Structure 1
Amino acid sequence: MRPTPPPRTYRVKSFGCQMNVYDGERMAELLGAQGISPAPEGEEADLVVLNTCHIREKAAEKVYSDIGRIVKDWRREDGTSPLIAVAGCVAQAEGEEIMRRAPAVSMVVGPQAYHRLPEMVAEAAEGRRTVETDMPAEAKFAALPARRKVGPSAFLTVQEGCDKFCTYCVVPYTRGAEISRPYKDLVAEAQGLVEAGAREITLLGQNVNAWRDDTNRGLEKLIETLAAMPGLARIRYTTSHPNDMTEGLIEAHRDIEKLMPFLHLPVQAGNDRVLKAMNRSHSADSYLRVLDRVRAVRPDIALSGDFIVGFPGETDAEFEDTLKLVDAVGYAQCFSFKYSARPGTPAATMDGQVAAEVMDERLQRLQAALNRDQLAFNQASVGKRCTVLVERKGRHEGQWLGKSPWLQSVHFTGEAAIGDLVEVELTAAGPNSLSARLLHPAHA
């Protein structure tokens, strides 16, 4: 690799979960602090960061496809291409293999080491290719710049890694063991987000409700502290594990007004044998009992979850149990996936791998049920009055888009601005959004 001029522009492309979105934003801030600017829309960048997700089906192969596309489509007149960095969970899992298979890649950096990205970019400009996939003891977050400007809704990573070792999942291998960020650091970063423009903060973690401070206080204590912060109007959190839904966290949904009535709590399957094979450590019944406890304290809560169909060995009857659980819950929204083997995970070598056409048919049936319930939840919201956080302009003149307390997309027309909290009446519902009538102007 020959030396190149230091990059003046960058583009970060993030795939996958909200934590990847957060990491992508932080990488952009790191590059911005070095005087590198985001590339204007439609123009090629001097540096492209592919912030990858290993949950995507055939994730590694899609990364190589993206790299090839960049090299082909963005080649300059002098024959050079942009500097390419591969970050995220695929980078952590593949490491040196990416360097071997993709000579166009200048740097590979895992999710626990991206604070080193500016140094790696400087080394790449000098013609050196670098790989950083260690999980160093040095605190990544301490090396990140302060948040200077954010949108009305911002992410805050409070916990990383996972100790659950679900048999289908690579997170313990790509993100490491469960680590909770220090309480004081989170309060300081949250305050900075509010000062930078955030009205709503979503607390993030691979297993966010496993967060504990150094005195073993749980997530509800952090939420309680943030709720007292002037200027912060809304708090959310994701993603949770059923076994870490403590009574204190459940009661927070009753007691803390700023905690929005929305809970994303993945179950993955509705059959106990399949759940045991997944190493999920909860049963369908214990999961439903957790939801009953949450609904008892917050009857209007919107529930969300994750499902995997076609896990190795899953029979037709066991899949029917998943449909029965869906019917019992009535989700407001959900994510559903076909099982996809991840190299190095126990499930990848299990007997009884389910045929692709069977998984396709099951996924269609599951998604039909989930879509039915999402539409029903939205339709049941018509006539309600609620507060909407305005996030952006709509496609039509005078139209605004925002989120209801139940994380529904809502559009309305009238006098408003990004970041406003406005009172509306929900007037019509579709499967993915609702229409509303503006009742009152913005309030602080």
Structure 2
Amino acid sequence: MNKHDSERIAGLLSECHFQETLEIGQAEVIIYNTCSVRENADNRLFGHLSQLASLKERKRSLKVVVAGCIAQKMKEDLLERSPHVDIVVGPNDLGALPHLIRMSEEKKARLCQARDKPQQEITSLPSKRKSAFKAWLPIMTGCNNFCSYCIVPYVRGREHSRPFEEVLTEAQELVDDGVVEITLLGQNVNSYHDGNGRGFFHLLEAVSQIEGAKRIRFATSHPKDLSPEVIDLIAQRENICNHIHLPLQSGSNRILSHMNRKYTREHFLHLTSLIQERIPEAALSTDIIVGYLSEEEEDFWDTVDMLKKCRFDQAFIFEFSPRPGTTASMMEDRISKAEKQRRFRMVNDLQKEISWQKNRSYIGRCITVLVEGRSKKDPGEISGRTDNNKVVNFPGSSELIGKMVSVKIVDAGAFSLKGIAHVPRRTTSHENCVIFKGELQRISD
């Protein structure tokens, strides 16, 4: 969601004749668009802000803006804590940012605008996409779940779904603009409803029927709301990507109840079994929290057991840190930092091994990759993603960026695959081939 908000900010300021710069010393306005889900995000922000002291001293006209969830959470307190910040603007007030910058300059004032309810639909703001061929498409904002550890409902507000036809119109516009991959976006997309009896299944089905929509993703799902109908739809539609992010958080029923997650480990296992049965090529990713409040050793081992049973392709693992304002922050955190770190290492090591094993199964296969850019680690390679969200690096020209390329996988690590661009020779037989989301690809020459 924050990445999309950043594109909205860029689009808004571009319309006001601002130009982006990669050189911080050239900037007239520096904007930090923040996330407050994890404690380290707060720490990073204040670390960056403290480094601006000398720059602000040399360039007194410089405006420093903090936007996003930390801005919404702290409001005026952020101005008090950081003397280098000129403007605080919450996610519900992004449309006011040009006015706030102008007023701060004219009045030489430090300003805060972070209201609890949207003053303007953020979807009505212009967007300046970072990619010509990938786009975020928000379908809803906010969250009604109030998990005990989560700050999101307090900073993003309650669930609000966009009108059905409005989403379809924007999706069609993106396809007409040459976008290859659309990601339907929301804190919990499965809670989408338009007020006329149409939910996420109907929306996903309608978007997938748009002519020219080549890849459709969605993020994020809540295990209590993901339906068998959506799983079946993914299996049936070639252009809906075979990747589902399904946050587990804990494998212990006791801890899940304490977290107010509203599902059990048994329900979660049923979901993953259903996905694996109906979408064999599906990749599953998840979120895990270790060291949550009163997590006993038995609770922790329940989580380890779930990792072994579910065999996720990827897991984002976090040590629990209470966020001020949440239910969990009012309770005693009995797990020491050292113990949280021990549990983190154990889960992380296990997941790396599982990810490596699963990625190794792709060696020798040919899969379709949407090339996203140059590889971050090797300038001689390009990098992209499969429809089930596997990162693939392979030698190639920048001319391939934005294109679908068939790649033969030759090696694999825990986090990515390595391959070579592959042009299959002509064949009249299906021998040595694999069906991968509706496409016939040769495994070997």
Is TM-score (shorter-chain normalized) higher than 0.5?
yes
For 1:156, the equivalent position in structure 2 comes to 137
TM-score by length of 2: 0.90
The one of 377, 381, 400 equivalent to 1:399 is 381
Gaps of 5+ in 2: 425-438, 440-445
Task: Rate the CA distance shift 1:264–1:123 in 2: closer, same or farther, 3 A.
Answer: same
TM-score by length of 1: 0.90
Corresponding letter in the other structure for 2:387: P
SS at match of 1:266: coil
Matched, 1:242 2:223: yes
SS at match of 1:217: coil
Write the deviation string for residues 376-403 of structure 1: whole angstroms up to 9, x where unpaired. Answer: 1110111222110011123657632111
For 1:328, the equivalent position in structure 2 comes to 309
Q: CA deviation at 1:360?
A: 0.4
SS at match of 2:137: strand
Q: Contact conserved, 1:52 with 1:88, CA < 8 A, in 2?
A: yes
Moved over 3 A (4+): 40-44, 58-62, 135-139, 146-151, 394-398
Corresponding letter in the other structure for 2:213: L
Q: CA deviation at 1:259?
A: 0.7
SS at match of 2:39: coil
For 2:162, the equivalent position in structure 1 comes to 181
In 2, Cα distance between the equivalents of 1:196 and 1:129? 39
Matched, 1:110 2:93: no
Q: Contact conserved, 2:30 with 2:64, CA < 8 A, in 1?
A: yes
Identity percentage of aligned residues: 34
For 2:356, the equivalent position in structure 1 comes to 375
- For 1:406-421, list aligned pairs within 5 A: 406-414=388-396, 416-421=399-404
Q: CA deviation at 1:427?
A: 1.5
For 2:11, the equivalent position in structure 1 comes to 29
- For 1:417-428, list aligned pairs within 5 A: 417-428=400-411
How many correspondences in the alignment? 422
SS at match of 1:437: strand
For 1:226, the equivalent position in structure 2 comes to 207
In 1, Cα distance between the equivalents of 2:151 and 2:10? 25
In 1, Cα distance between the equivalents of 2:302 and 2:378? 44
For 2:104, the equivalent position in structure 1 comes to 124
Write the deviation string for residues 257-294 of structure 1: whole angstroms up to 9, x where unpaired. Answer: 11111110001000010111111111111111111122
Corresponding letter in the other structure for 1:365: M
In 2, Cα distance between the equivalents of 1:298 and 1:189? 28
In 2, Cα distance between the equivalents of 1:188 and 1:226? 10
For 1:433, the equivalent position in structure 2 comes to 416
In 2, Cα distance between the equivalents of 1:396 and 1:94? 40
In 2, Cα distance between the equivalents of 1:243 and 1:404? 27
- For 1:129-278, list aligned pairs within 5 A: 129-145=110-126, 150-278=131-259
Greater shift, 266-275 or 115-124, is seen at 115-124
For 1:66, the equivalent position in structure 2 comes to 48
Greater shift, 146-155 or 375-384, is seen at 146-155
Q: Contact conserved, 2:56 with 2:84, CA < 8 A, in 1?
A: no
Q: Contact conserved, 1:84 with 1:106, CA < 8 A, in 2?
A: yes
For 2:77, the equivalent position in structure 1 comes to 97
In 2, Cα distance between the equivalents of 1:370 and 1:259? 26
Greater shift, 368-377 or 102-111, is seen at 102-111
Corresponding letter in the other structure for 2:309: A
Corresponding letter in the other structure for 1:122: R
Q: CA deviation at 1:216?
A: 2.5
SS at match of 1:400: strand
For 2:268, the equivalent position in structure 1 comes to 287
Q: Contact conserved, 2:93 with 2:120, CA < 8 A, in 1?
A: no
Q: CA deviation at 1:193?
A: 2.6
In 1, Cα distance between the equivalents of 2:25 and 2:210? 40
Greater shift, 181-190 or 296-305, is seen at 181-190
Cα RMSD after superposing both structures: 2.0
In 2, Cα distance between the equivalents of 1:149 and 1:51? 15
Greater shift, 196-205 or 185-194, is seen at 185-194
SS at match of 1:113: helix
For 1:348, the equivalent position in structure 2 comes to 329
Q: CA deviation at 1:156?
A: 1.6
Q: Contact conserved, 1:147 with 1:192, CA < 8 A, in 2?
A: no
SS at match of 2:392: strand
Greater shift, 356-365 or 51-60, is seen at 51-60
Write the deviation string for residues 343-393 of structure 1: whole angstroms up to 9, x where unpaired. Answer: 111111223521100000000000011111111111011122211001112
Q: Contact conserved, 2:193 with 2:199, CA < 8 A, in 1?
A: yes
SS at match of 1:337: strand
Write the deviation string for residues 298-324 of structure 1: whole angstroms up to 9, x where unpaired. Answer: 112101000100111101111011000
Task: Rate the CA distance shift 1:312–1:192 in 2: closer, same or farther, 3 A.
Answer: same
Matched, 1:44 2:16: no
In 2, Cα distance between the equivalents of 1:147 and 1:41? 19
Gaps of 5+ in 1: 1-18
In 2, Cα distance between the equivalents of 1:278 and 1:327? 22
